[in-house]
Amino acid sequence: MTNSEEADTQEEHTPSLFQQDFLDQLEKDAKGCSDNLMNLMANLQFSLSEISGLTIQHMELYKRSLGVESETIQKSMVDVSNLMARCHQLNETLKPVENMATQIKEMKKQLDLFENQLSRVK
């Protein structure tokens, strides 16, 4: 085989950039890649949209939870304040009872003394 025959054989096996079949296949492959990329981007857009929607829902739920928690804490603080005021009021109301208890003890002592004196007289 001569050098020119070898060159002809190599040219037959090596696709030329100008051969129509090669260009058609290259265009078909590029279109396939483009279609795959478009599908991938559409799926990515859909997934990101779903994730964004879920994130918004979770943030709204978190916001409502904080609002409810804040209201509950505030109501509890008001209730505790009211309870403390009632306890103070009850304490003030019961102060005369302490004085009465002291008076009753004194009266009991005097009654005991009186009974002792009566028992001696008999």
Residue 90: predicted pLDDT: 94
Is a pLDDT exceeding 70 seen at residue 65?
yes
Torsion 46-48-49-50 (CA) sign: positive
Q: With contact defined as beta carbons under 8 Å apart, do 13 and 7 qualify?
A: no
Band of pLDDT at residue 74, cut at 50, 70 and 90:
very high
Q: With contact defined as beta carbons under 8 Å apart, do 40 and 33 qualify?
A: no
pLDDT tens digits, 11-43: 555 655 568 888 889 999 999 999 999 999 999
- The pLDDT of 76-81, averaged and rounded, is 96
Q: With contact defined as beta carbons under 8 Å apart, do 26 and 33 qualify?
A: no
